Structure 1
Amino acid sequence: MTTPRNNPRSDTPFLVGDRVKGTSYVPPGPHRREAPETFEGVVVQVGSGYAGVDAEHAFLWVKLKDHTERQALVADTELVEE
């Protein structure tokens, strides 16, 4: 589902400020009441910031219109055409 673009940073398909849509990520464990949901918003963080942490599952955080944030896997996210 990832839609890369011609990007000055080839190591990530998204940059902070990109408008994206996708499905939120709910980690396994004590979050049983949460369920994945579709979203659309603006990327506010890509990855965890810690080397090696996102090696298996690359994450990003997206701010929605209501000013809440969702975590998503890069693979479950795509750019919104403006």
Structure 2
Amino acid sequence: MTAPPPRPQRTPLTDGPFLVGDRVRGVAYVPPALRKREAPEPFEGVVVQVGSGYPKGDDEGDFLWVRLADCTERQSLVADTEPNP
């Protein structure tokens, strides 16, 4: 007899609206210092990290890291992101 596969964790670790594994779409965040060279771009993907991962890194807003279909990642603000059913 084999054990059933583990269930994905759906317990929020924060009070934010997104959890790791959620499918989302939104607009990528570009830090102010890079805005002369880069432009925000729309994306669709899966949340892989909630929060910036740096101490005081979320002072500008709540961040998400999202993995795209091409295996690259984008950072976005929660306010610029919505669920993608």
Q: Return 5+ residue gaps in structure 1 as ranges.
A: 1-6
Q: 1:75 to 1:30 in 2, by over 3 A?
A: closer
TM-score (norm 1): 0.79
More off after superposition, 64-73 vs 51-60: 51-60
TM-score (norm 2): 0.76
Higher radius of gyration, 1 or 2: 2
* Bigger proportion of residues as helix: 2
Between 1 and 2, higher relative CO (CA 8 Å, sep ≥ 6) is seen in 1
1:69 and 1:53 map into 2 onto residues whose CA distance is: 17
- State the 4+ residue runs in structure 1 displaced beyond 4 angstroms: none
The partner residue of 1:14 within 4, 11, 18 is: 18
Provide the aligned C-alpha RMSD in A. Answer: 1.8
CA displacement at 1:8 relative to structure 2: 4.4
Deviations 1:56-82 (A, max 9, x none): 40000100001111000000000111x
Deviations 1:15-57 (A, max 9, x none): 0110000000000114521100000000010002345431440
Q: Return 5+ residue gaps in structure 2 as ranges.
A: 1-9
| Percentage of pairs with the same residue | 65
